[in-house]
Amino acid sequence: SFPVVVLISGSGSNLQALIDQSLQGNLDIEIKAVISNKASAYGLERAQKAGIPTHALSHKDFESREAFDTELAGLIDHYQPKLVVLAGFMRILTETFTRRYEGRMLNIHPSLLPKFKGLDTHQRAIDANEAEHGVSVHFVTAELDAGSVVLQASTLIEAGDTADKLAQKVHALEHIIYPLSVKWFSCGRLELKDGLAYLDGKPLPETGMR
């Protein structure tokens, strides 16, 4: 089946969603390895429980972003994945790295892109008095959180929603749309052409499917 490498930095609930969907037969991928830039990431335990090889590669052991990314690319390429999945991977990647995997690397970002690139998205959406918030899956390109969007899901921001509450709502959506996006890619339905995402040969709108 379809070889994938997943990069994480934390809890790995999106990784878990991919594992679960594969086990349930809804997603025909093989997660060859899970790599974290933090040795303490709980997602590494999730991977080990699922029998997936894991690596902790701390960016702190490298003197530059370039040196870290070179080592990371070497590790990834060892597994010959057809897709690299960023699932809560909280490192900015160099242009050399993003170019190497252009068209075969997806990220999930907790906002309705192009709104709220970067960090702290839930609190920023509340502070901006947004009526709705959500999550985007996008192809990774050199510019942070700016690659072509594949799929978005949204939720209303209700009175009394805190950043934590919103994060929970968004996570529930993430666990639906990330496995679906990965499925589209692994089936050959999804591709990046000239910087634009295509589903079944048709260009997706700027905000992806919603």
Binding-site residues sit at 12-14, 65, 90-93, 107
Write out the DSSP string of 71-138.
HHHHHHHHT--SEEEESS---PPPHHHHHHTTTSEEEEESSSTTSS-SS-HHHHHHHTT-SEEEEEEE
208 lines the binding site for ligand GAR (CB under 6 A)? no
Q: Which residues does the annotation mark as catalytic? A: 109
134 lines the binding site for ligand GAR (CB under 6 A)? no
Give 83 or 108: the residue with its C-beta nearer to ligand GAR. Answer: 108
87 lines the binding site for ligand GAR (CB under 6 A)? yes
Considering only CA atoms, give the Rg of the chain: 16
Give bridge partners of residue 31 from the DSSP assignment. Answer: 4
Which parts are annotated binding residues for (6R)-10-formyltetrahydrofolate?
Answer: 65, 90-93, 107
Q: Pick the stretch among 10-18, 56-64, 97-105, 155-163 that binds ligand GAR (CB under 6 A).
A: 10-18
Of 199, 181, 179, give the one whose Cα is nearest residue 189: 199
**Binding residue for ligand GAR (CB under 6 A) from 81, 110, 134, 208?**
110
161 lines the binding site for ligand GAR (CB under 6 A)? no
d(CA 155, CA 133): 6
Binding site for ligand GAR (CB under 6 A): 8, 10-14, 43, 87-88, 90, 108-110, 171, 174
